[in-house]
């Protein structure tokens, strides 16, 4: 204690305690320093109490999440609506885009992305998976038959989503020549909605991610083809910039979207 007091007096540049053989008495400088110290401790206690009160209070604030356009409209928007119903003081903005936005630069709390992990520095939680699937209308299958191998697609009409700059080929989980099939589309469109409409009209065989046609498979509007040759599934992740001192609203949404 004596060494600590001496070091403190050296930093302050004044005597803080008057020492006698029988007692220690604070000087005027010592009393002023003690008063300031008590105020600092009170402020610290209030600040930590405020943080705890905020943790215990109902969730509020604005939460901003980005997601791929179609996947966001079909799957993330309903999830956000349900979350808002459970937390009436929270507001949310869903940024729909097929570009991978920078979460920090765009002031985003989270991002839903489809595909293999390609970014470092972000915290990811897997929330599902999708896979590439082939499909046709029941009418088309009745008229033209069902392909048995990927190579059989060469004999069929193909409906192709053409917004991607990749080569016109489809890849499958197969060995040998059937692993990659180059296609010559009969009809092309830059939007998946047009592809789905064409396939449902019996114009040919299409390909897309499974979530886009799951309801059609369930209702029988579309028929799934070559499922035994489908490539491995792609993961769906929810990214956040960091889990340290994460806003309570974001943490709650993360738990709802993808329980650990």
Measure the CA–CA gap between 77 and 74, rounded to whole angstroms: 7
Place of tokens 């799957």: 75
Place of tokens 């943490």: 251
Burial of 95 (0-12, 13-18, 19+ CB in 10 A): middle
Task: Name the more confident of 39 and 89.
Answer: 89
Cβ neighbors of 74 (< 8 A, separation 6 or more) are: 211, 212
Task: Name the more confident of 7 and 43.
Answer: 7
199-246 pLDDT per residue, tens: 999 999 999 999 999 999 999 999 999 999 999 999 999 988 876 667
Alpha helix positions (H), 87-152: 138-144
When pLDDT is cut at 50, 70 and 90, the band that residue 53 belongs to is very low
Burial of 213 (0-12, 13-18, 19+ CB in 10 A): buried
Place of tokens 């070091």: 7
Place of tokens 């791929």: 68
* pTM across the whole model: 0.67
Alpha helix positions (H), the chain: 2-12, 28-56, 69-71, 77-86, 138-144, 192-200, 214-219, 248-257
Q: What is the reported pLDDT for 208? A: 95
Instruction: Report whether pLDDT(4) > 70.
Output: yes
Q: Say how many residues make up the chain.
A: 260
Measure the CA–CA gap between 226 and 135, rounded to whole angstroms: 9
Mean of the per-residue pLDDT values of the chain = 86
Instruction: Report the percent of the chain where pLDDT is more than 70.
Output: 88
- For residues 30-36, average pLDDT: 78
133-165 pLDDT per residue, tens: 999 999 999 999 999 999 999 999 999 998 766
Q: What is the reported pLDDT for 12? A: 79
Measure the CA–CA gap between 90 and 86, rounded to whole angstroms: 9
Classified as helix, coil or strand, 173 is coil
């Amino acid at each position: 204690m004596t060494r600590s007091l001496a070091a403190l007096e050296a930093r302050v540049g004044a005597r803080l305690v008057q020492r006698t053989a029988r007692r220690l008495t604070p000087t005027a400088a010592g009393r002023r320093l003690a008063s300031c110290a008590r105020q600092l401790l009170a402020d610290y206690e209030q600040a930590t109490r405020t943080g705890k009160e905020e943790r215990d209070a109902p969730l509020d604030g604005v939460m901003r999440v980005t997601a791929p356009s179609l996947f966001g409209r079909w799957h993330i928007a309903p999830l956000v609506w349900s979350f808002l119903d459970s937390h009436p003081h929270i507001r949310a903005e869903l940024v729909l885009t097929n570009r991978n936005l920078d979460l920090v630069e765009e002031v985003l709390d989270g991002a839903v992305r489809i595909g293999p992990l390609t970014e470092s520095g972000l915290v990811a939680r897997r929330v599902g998976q999708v896979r590439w699937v082939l499909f046709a209308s029941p009418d088309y299958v009745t008229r033209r038959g069902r392909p048995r191998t990927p190579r059989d697609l060469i004999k069929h009409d193909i409906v192709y989503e053409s917004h991607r700059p990749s080569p016109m080929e489809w890849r499958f989980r197969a060995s040998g020549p059937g692993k990659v099939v180059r296609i010559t589309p009969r009809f092309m469109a830059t939007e998946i909605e047009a592809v789905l409409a064409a396939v449902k009209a019996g114009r040919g065989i299409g390909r897309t991610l499974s979530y886009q046609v799951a309801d059609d498979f369930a209702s029988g509007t579309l028929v799934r083809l070559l499922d035994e040759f489908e490539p491995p599934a792609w993961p769906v992740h929810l990214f956040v910039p960091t889990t340290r001192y994460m806003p309570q609203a974001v943490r709650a949404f993360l738990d709802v979207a993808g329980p650990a």
